[in-house]
């Protein structure tokens, strides 16, 4: 039949039709696969206390390098006007830079940088006085092995099909087409197996969060896929806090030296965790609280500036996460010499109504084990801060109201409680600070480990200002606060 005159005439037509179908199929399959297979990151939000400004740097997700990198800078209430230079650099070489003008109105300012290749990069910030660098990863387009098998299999199937048709129609011995048919079945089996295994194939260890990122492992993370069963966690850190010239009433330059707990080497593998590299909570002798985000200046070298209003011992706690996973809390103290002292912070009350920076807040404490503390802010216009609706710092038991800092430094409980933002259906990722639509109630639930007098600081954001509500709660022996 293959060599009949009719077959000879129709054969080119059949072959042409099959080729068109194969091309169509490969186009359709190719299109969907590219959309699924891109390993594009999400937005990265990093809070930075740069000089006297509290900034949130948002690195917008990027799909392909070379290409533009959009950086949004969120300024907060009370932020001084000025300029901020942004620099994108890799392996110590600056590739692009831009300047963002900051005015005194809080909000979002945008800048655009260029990156030319996937790999580990650093975003440099420079406000003229202080500098910071944030490590980040420019992702590569990665094709997983199962995807290669699936596409290779389907392409081979198409080729074998055409080959088989040609052989069946044009060759004197049409049974030779069986060779092509066999190849087609094998290729189809490979393609379908690849597609079926795709859902259950474990992802390779991620460069950045599990492994130190390099250009090679970002381009081909599957080269190290066999390491995915290893425990990637690293030793705890040691923290040294130094601010030799700190005086009350003057801007203090606080330097944090973070070193590895096993080798003593500077730690340069901190991950962005809860929207910051380091969350530094500082408590003053009369009970004022700062929640700062030190900037990275070099390996293991983090710096932050703040104005201590009173002399004495301050409690310092740093919350951070190293590559390989696990969040750790390290505590230290900071001595501030006498300068110009501000009036002492009044001892806060427990539940009830109060006004914080012009915002009426009603705090409700529901005693028990666990205890639920709810702050009612009145209007549903709260903004997410550090990816959360609210933060609650719990420290205690503390008995001496004039030495809160020193007592907090050795207090058995030091907790950082979160109030989550409900996930909006259909919205991937977390909302950033530009969305002012949350609240008005901010609930926290915490289990007090021991009875005593606790100091609490509740934080939420409205109009680009972080509102801190100090509280004092007495936890009785049976575990239920009054």
Partner 1 sequence: MSSTVDRRRPVLLISVVAVLVVAIVAWLVWPSSGGAQVQRSTQGPYTVQLSVEDPHQGGNVFALTVTGATPDVVTLEPVMPQMGHALAPSPAIAEAPGRFRTGDVLLPMPGQWEITVSLRGPSGATQHVFPLLVK
Site residues for partner 1 per CB under 8 A: 91-93, 145, 148-149, 152, 156, 159-160, 163, 167, 171-173, 176, 179-180, 183, 211-217, 220, 222-224, 227, 230-235, 260-265, 268-269, 299, 323-324
Enumerate residues 6+ apart whose C-beta is below 8 A from 13: none
Q: How far is the CB of 448 from partner 1 (least distance, A)?
A: 34
Name the strands in the sheet holding 289-292, side by side, starting at the edge strand that comes first in the sequence.
289-292, 278-283, 312-321, 327-336
- Residue placing its CB nearer to partner 1 in the complex, 107 or 152: 152
Say if CB 294 and CB 429 are below 8 A apart.
no
- Look at strands 295-298 and 289-292 and give their pairing: unpaired
Q: How far is the CB of 433 from partner 1 (least distance, A)?
A: 33
- Residue placing its CB nearer to partner 1 in the complex, 259 or 434: 259
Q: How far is the CB of 89 from partner 1 (least distance, A)?
A: 9
Say if CB 115 and CB 279 are below 8 A apart.
no
- Residue placing its CB nearer to partner 1 in the complex, 217 or 419: 217
Q: How far is the CB of 238 from partner 1 (least distance, A)?
A: 12
- Residue placing its CB nearer to partner 1 in the complex, 212 or 400: 212
Name the strands in the sheet holding 371-376, side by side, starting at the edge strand that comes first in the sequence.
352-356, 359-366, 371-376, 441-446
Query: CA of 251: how far to CAs of 88, 273, 293, 295, 387, in Å?
Result: 29, 27, 16, 16, 28
- Look at strands 289-292 and 44-50 and give their pairing: unpaired
Rounded Cα distance, 251 and 108, in Å: 26
Q: How far is the CB of 61 from partner 1 (least distance, A)?
A: 24
Instruction: Look up tokens 């807040």; give the residue.
Output: 361
- Residue placing its CB nearer to partner 1 in the complex, 173 or 244: 173
Q: How far is the CB of 62 from partner 1 (least distance, A)?
A: 22
- Residue placing its CB nearer to partner 1 in the complex, 58 or 211: 211
CB atoms within 10 A of CB 105: 11
Q: How far is the CB of 224 from partner 1 (least distance, A)?
A: 6
- Residue placing its CB nearer to partner 1 in the complex, 28 or 171: 171
Say if CB 109 and CB 72 are below 8 A apart.
yes
Enumerate residues 6+ apart whose C-beta is below 8 A from 401: 286, 287, 347
**Structure-block tokens of residue 362:** 């009603």
Q: How far is the CB of 33 from partner 1 (least distance, A)?
A: 15
Q: How far is the CB of 261 from partner 1 (least distance, A)?
A: 7
Rounded Cα distance, 30 and 22, in Å: 12
- Residue placing its CB nearer to partner 1 in the complex, 227 or 240: 227
Say if CB 129 and CB 51 are below 8 A apart.
yes
Rounded Cα distance, 309 and 375, in Å: 27
Q: How far is the CB of 253 from partner 1 (least distance, A)?
A: 23
Cis? peptide before 2, omega within 30° of 0: no
Rounded Cα distance, 132 and 259, in Å: 19
Strand intervals (E) in 174-311: 237-242, 252-260, 278-283, 289-292, 295-298, 301-306
- Residue placing its CB nearer to partner 1 in the complex, 210 or 392: 210
Rounded Cα distance, 295 and 272, in Å: 12
Where residue 264 falls (left for φ over 0; alpha for ψ -120 to 50; beta otherwise) is left
Run of H or E including 288 = none
- Residue placing its CB nearer to partner 1 in the complex, 159 or 415: 159
Q: How far is the CB of 269 from partner 1 (least distance, A)?
A: 7
- Residue placing its CB nearer to partner 1 in the complex, 138 or 408: 138
């Amino acid at each position: 039949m293959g060599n009949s005159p009719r077959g000879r005439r129709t054969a080119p037509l059949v072959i042409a039709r099959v080729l068109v179908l194969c091309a169509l199929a490969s186009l359709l399959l190719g299109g969907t696969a590219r959309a699924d297979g891109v390993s594009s990151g999400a937005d990265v939000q990093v809070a930075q206390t740069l000089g006297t400004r509290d900034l949130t740097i948002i690195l917008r997700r990027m799909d392909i390098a070379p290409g533009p990198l959009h950086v949004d800078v969120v300024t907060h209430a009370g932020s001084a006007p000025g300029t901020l230079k942004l620099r994108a650099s890799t392996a110590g070489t600056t590739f692009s830079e831009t300047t963002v003008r900051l005015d005194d109105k809080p909000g979002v300012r945008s800048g655009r940088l260029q990156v030319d290749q996937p790999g580990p990069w650093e975003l440099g910030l420079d406000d003229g006085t202080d500098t910071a660098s944030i490590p980040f990863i420019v992702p590569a387009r990665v094709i997983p092995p199962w995807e290669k098998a699936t596409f290779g299999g389907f392409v081979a199937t198409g080729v074998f099909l055409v080959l088989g048709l040609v052989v069946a129609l044009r060759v004197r011995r049409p049974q030779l087409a069986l060779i092509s048919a066999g190849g087609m079945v094998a290729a189809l089996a490979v393609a379908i197996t690849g597609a079926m295994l795709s859902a259950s194939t474990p992802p390779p260890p991620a460069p950045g969060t599990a492994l130190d990122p390099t250009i090679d492992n970002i381009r081909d993370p599957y080269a190290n896929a066999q390491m995915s069963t290893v425990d990637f966690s690293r030793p705890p850190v040691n923290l040294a806090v130094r601010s030799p010239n700190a005086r009350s009433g003057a801007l203090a330059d606080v330097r944090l030296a973070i070193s590895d707990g096993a080798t003593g080497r500077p730690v340069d593998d901190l991950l962005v965790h809860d929207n910051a590299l380091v969350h530094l909570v500082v408590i003053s002798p009369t009970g004022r609280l700062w929640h700062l985000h030190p900037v990275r200046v070099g390996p293991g070298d983090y710096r932050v500036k703040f104005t201590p209003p009173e002399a004495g011992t301050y409690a310092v706690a740093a919350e951070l996460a190293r590559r390989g996973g696990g969040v750790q809390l390290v505590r230290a103290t900071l001595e501030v010499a006498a300068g110009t002292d501000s009036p002492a912070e009044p001892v806060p009350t427990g539940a009830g109504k109060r006004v914080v920076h012009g915002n009426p807040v009603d705090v409700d404490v529901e005693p028990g084990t666990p205890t639920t503390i709810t702050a009612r802010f009145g209007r549903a216009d709260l903004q997410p801060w550090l990816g959360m609706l609210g933060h609650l710092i719990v420290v205690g038991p503390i008995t001496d109201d004039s030495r809160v800092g020193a007592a907090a430094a050795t207090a058995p409980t030091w907790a950082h409680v979160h109030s989550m933002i409900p996930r909006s259906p259909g919205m991937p990722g977390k909302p950033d600070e530009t969305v002012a639509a949350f609240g008005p109630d901010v609930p926290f639930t915490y289990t007090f480990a021991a009875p005593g007098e606790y100091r609490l600081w509740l934080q939420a954001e409205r109009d680009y200002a972080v509102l801190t509500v100090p509280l004092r709660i007495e936890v009785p022996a049976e575990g239920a606060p009054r």
